[in-house]
Structure 1
Amino acid sequence: MTPEEVFRKLVNGVAAGQYAELPDLYAEQTDVRHPMHPERPAPLRSRDELRAHFGGGADAPEDPVVRFEAVDVLVHRTEDPEVIVGEFAYAGSVAGSDEKFHVPCVFVLRVRDGEIVESRDYVDHAAMAKARARIGEITAEPAPGAGAS
């Protein structure tokens, strides 16, 4: 797969809750960082760590709180054929209400031989957590010595 195909499969897979498939988009040894996450988690360095990150690799049950999709997708190519910048938003609605949300995102990916070997995922995690009624999960004080990424 090309870098753009991998990117599109990733963001659409997240939106569709297809978490079991997502770790396979990454190389066995990788470097995934979430620089805007309030807790500044340590980088994810392996496919196994990504499997745990995506909930053990199991497909998500229907989320009763929120439905969303990747919209406004733009892919910017760089001089390095392995590196792309994907610009998009997760947009959706909160179940049981008329509340809509639009969370802008930028992913910078390095894809080699059809697998993500490096990723910097710039997401407004607070806005996404709020939309999913999970804001408490990311507003706690970071643990002492939490890894910076």
Structure 2
Amino acid sequence: MLLVETVRSTGSQQAILIVGLLCVLLGGLVSLSPREVFLRLVHGVAEGNSSELPDLYGEVTDVRHPMATPESEPLTSRRALREHFTVPPEVRESWPKRSVVDVVVHETADPEVIVAEFAYEFTLPDDSMAKVPCIFVMRVRDGQIIESRDYIDPIRTYTARGDLDRLLASLRKGDTAG
């Protein structure tokens, strides 16, 4: 257990992978902490590992994106999350590279719940940078996300991905005023 606590406190990607490997080798006897699950999720998103991401969630879950534009339905199953993370390769390849920066994970009185602040930093085609600040409030049980509220700035996200026209089109569809 000392090894696991040491790895948890470092938060490095290499250390997280070591803990993950230990979990597999020990047959799941050691669950990833909420912090470790969060870090796998956001780094997996940034690296485009979409096929692995649904396995971080429970079969039954409740994931919401309160700031999503257009509004999105809650994702309540691993299957729904698999669909959510599935992006056609040509679309994904058109998105700029991104990395995870400015990570601060707050542990709460409930050991299953964390509040994580971070940003996705995009490298745009002209080599300029764009940051998209995010806050995730997650409940992780037995190494799987069972509930999450993902607050992500939609305007900065669409702008960084070069999809601002798509955002505007979706907003116009919802405009009933004329």
TM-score, structure 1 as length reference = 0.87
Name the residue aligned to 1:88: 118
Unaligned 5+ runs, structure 1? 145-149
Distance 1:141 1:100 in 2: 26
Q: Which has the higher contact order (CA 8 A, sep 6+)?
A: 1
Determine which structure has the larger helix proportion and give its number: 2
Distance 1:129 1:62 in 2: 13
| Structure with greater Cα Rg | 2
Q: Measure how far apart 1:60 and its partner are.
A: 8.2
* CA RMSD of superposed structures (Å): 2.1
Determine which structure has the larger strand proportion and give its number: 1
Q: Measure how far apart 1:128 and its partner are.
A: 1.0
Unaligned 5+ runs, structure 2? 1-31
Say how many residue pairs are matched.
Answer: 142
TM-score, structure 2 as length reference = 0.73
Q: Measure how far apart 1:123 and its partner are.
A: 0.4
Distance 2:35 2:71 in 1: 27
Paired residue for 1:109, among 138, 141, 144? 138
Q: Measure how far apart 1:62 and its partner are.
A: 6.4
Whether 1:3 aligns to 2:38 is no
Q: Measure how far apart 1:68 and its partner are.
A: 0.8
Name the residue aligned to 2:159: 130
Name the residue aligned to 2:73: 42
Q: Measure how far apart 1:73 and its partner are.
A: 0.5
Distance 1:77 1:47 in 2: 25
**Identity of matched residues, %:** 48
